[in-house]
């Protein structure tokens, strides 16, 4: 049997980890530099910020489902490399336009849409690729290490961005991010694993293959609840994300450099979550960890709008720290669960179906945040977004997950019976649901 310690000696995993790490650092820089460019350089309104966030994630709603079927037909390594190169080229166009004094919001919107589309294909291929590179008992550890890299990038990226914004400005930082995607493509090219592409003669109609992936997710009693929780949370979180930079810079009066440090300190919670997620799942039970982490989001989400009346920087840091920890703990457990559960030949379509359902709500949330921010104001909209997290948690808190310690490794298409060992009926906490 393989051991989790062996992952650092696993050549292909190291390349995937390096590619994802460098890409995440650049992505975190852009996540702050792009909205700062829109607000500070192009004077974007709340509605325009909502449109920007919507376009970044619209591809999950528009092509999310067929993307999974296509990825299952293609070589995943090639998909990862091509979409890294597409994102690099799209981002590089922004500093070029700035140098030519031709930068405008429409171009920013186009770049957001193009990079969002490339991200759809990259993410579906990436989550479907990991289980083919490592042994089955290494999947949770692999996801934990990749989440740790993402969390480190979230901690270091915004603080570094805040400092560099003073010296370089958003366009040059975005140019640097384009280079990180090129470096990511280089590491992926070094992966030795040879993709096994299904025989073309076995392919069926695209609609049939898409339906298989969607049916797997929607018919599974536990996945259905998890997807509903994540999709609802993303809807309301996107409302907040669309207005966060504008809220911090204009309403709270936080300088750009300070905002970067605030975001870095808050994101440190994700790093702690990546390190402690497996231990948290063992302590409370793997199944129970999902609803409990969803519940923990609620008080921390409320601290963002509360920053308007309290010590702003402190409340933002505490709120983001706790929120990031809960999100990472939730993701490590539920992503590992569905990767183990799904047959290998269905991984791309399953991941695409999940992303269609959970990320498809994000452009709607971004637009709604922009509209409400213009209509009733930024702070009231942030309170609505925080309250919406309670609706998200209800999906999993009222499910069998709250009474489960172990999650199943396979599913035969039927319901999860009351006497199934995965239910962990003997471990239901006081007041929990079986």
Q: Is 380's pLDDT higher than 90? A: yes
Q: Is 280's pLDDT higher than 80? A: yes
pLDDT band at 155 (very low <50, low <70, confident <90, very high): low
pLDDT band at 427 (very low <50, low <70, confident <90, very high): very low
Q: Is 186's pLDDT higher than 90? A: yes
Q: Tens of pLDDT along 330-353?
A: 888 888 787 777 777 777 677 778
Q: Is 4's pLDDT higher than 60? A: no
Q: Is 169's pLDDT higher than 50? A: yes
For residues 269-275, average pLDDT: 79
pLDDT band at 151 (very low <50, low <70, confident <90, very high): low
Per the CB < 8 A criterion, the answer to whether 325 and 270 are in contact is: yes
Report the pLDDT value the prediction gives residue 204, as an integer from 0 to 100: 63
For residues 377-399, average pLDDT: 90
Rg of the chain (C-alpha set):
21
CB 258: neighbour CB atoms within 10 A? 15
Report the pLDDT value the prediction gives residue 107, as an integer from 0 to 100: 92
Report the pLDDT value the prediction gives residue 410, as an integer from 0 to 100: 58
pLDDT band at 208 (very low <50, low <70, confident <90, very high): confident
Q: To the nearest whole percent, how much of the chain has pLDDT over 90? A: 15
Of the given ranges (117-126, 244-253, 278-287), which has the lowest mean pLDDT?
117-126
For residues 31-40, average pLDDT: 80
Give the CA distances from residue 227 to residues 2, 13, 218, 329, 355, in Å, rounded to whole numbers and listed in that order: 31, 27, 9, 16, 9
For residues 106-131, average pLDDT: 83
When the pLDDT of each residue in the chain is averaged and rounded to a whole number, the result is: 79
Best CA proximity match to 236, nearest among 361, 371, 60, 322:
361
Torsion angle in degrees (nearest 10) through CA of 94, 95, 96, 102: 70
What angle do the packed helices 286-301 and 378-397 form, to 10 degrees? 160
Best CA proximity match to 135, nearest among 344, 386, 332:
344
Q: Is 275's pLDDT higher than 60? A: yes
Please tell me the distance from the alpha carbon of residue 134 to that of residue 147, in angstroms, as a whole number.
16
Q: To the nearest whole percent, how much of the chain has pLDDT over 70? A: 86
Give residues with Cβ within 8 angstroms of 422, minimum separation 6: 287, 404, 406, 407, 408, 416
The sign one gets for the Cα dihedral 70, 75, 77, 79 is: negative
Report the pLDDT value the prediction gives residue 202, as an integer from 0 to 100: 58
CATH of 10-189+213-416, one of 1.10.3210.10, 1.20.1250.20, 1.10.3720.10, 3.40.50.620: 1.20.1250.20
Please tell me the distance from the alpha carbon of residue 323 to that of residue 301, in angstroms, as a whole number.
7
Report the pLDDT value the prediction gives residue 414, as an integer from 0 to 100: 44
| Beta-sheet strands, E only, within 141-292 | none
User: Residue 425 has which token pair?
Assistant: 């009926």
């Amino acid at each position: 049997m393989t051991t989790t310690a062996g992952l650092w000696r696993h050549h292909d995993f190291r390349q995937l980890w390096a590619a994802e790490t460098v890409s995440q650092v650049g992505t975190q820089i852009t996540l702050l530099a792009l909205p700062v460019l829109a607000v500070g350089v192009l004077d974007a309104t709340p509605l325009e910020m909502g449109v920007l966030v919507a376009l970044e994630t619209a591809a999950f709603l528009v092509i999310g489902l067929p993307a999974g079927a296509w990825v299952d037909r293609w070589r995943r390594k090639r998909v990862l490399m091509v979409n890294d190169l597409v994102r690099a080229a799209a981002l590089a166009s922004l500093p070029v336009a700035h140098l030519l004094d031709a930068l405008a919001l429409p171009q920013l919107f186009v770049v957001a849409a193009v990079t969002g589309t490339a991200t759809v294909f990259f993410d579906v291929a990436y989550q479907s690729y990991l289980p083919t590179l490592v042994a089955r008992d290494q999947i949770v550890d692999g996801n934990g290490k990749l989440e740790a890299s993402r969390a480190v990038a979230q901690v270091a990226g915004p603080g570094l961005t805040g400092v560099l914004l003073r010296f370089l400005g958003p366009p040059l930082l975005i140019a640097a991010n384009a280079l990180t995607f090129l470096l990511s493509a280089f590491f992926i090219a070094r992966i030795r694993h040879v993709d096994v592409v299904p025989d073309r003669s076995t392919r069926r109609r695209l609609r049939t293959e898409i339906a298989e992936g969607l049916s797997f997710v929607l018919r599974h009693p536990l996945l259905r609840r998890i997807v509903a929780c994540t999709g609802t949370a993303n809807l309301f979180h996107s409302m907040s994300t669309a207005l966060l930079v504008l809220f911090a810079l204009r309403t709270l009066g936080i300088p750009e450099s300070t905002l970067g440090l605030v975001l870095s300190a808050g994101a440190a919670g994700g790093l702690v979550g990546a390190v402690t997620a497996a231990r948290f799942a063992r302590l409370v039970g793997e199944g129970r960890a999902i609803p409990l982490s969803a519940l923990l989001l609620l008080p921390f989400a409320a601290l963002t709008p509360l920053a308007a009346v309290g010590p702003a920087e402190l409340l933002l840091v505490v709120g983001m720290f706790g929120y990031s920890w809960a999100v990472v703990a939730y993701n490590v457990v539920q992503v590992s669960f569905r990767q183990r559960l799904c047959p290998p030949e269905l991984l791309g379509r399953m991941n695409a179906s999940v992303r269609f359902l959970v990320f498809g709500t994000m452009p709607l949330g971004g637009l709604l945040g922009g509209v409400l921010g213009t209509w009733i104001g930024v702070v009231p909209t942030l309170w609505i977004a925080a309250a919406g997290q309670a609706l998200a948690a209800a999906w999993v808190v009222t499910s069998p997950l709250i009474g489960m310690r172990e999650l199943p490794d396979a599913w035969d298409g039927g319901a999860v019976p009351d006497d199934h060992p995965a239910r962990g009926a003997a471990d239901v906490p006081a007041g929990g649901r079986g």
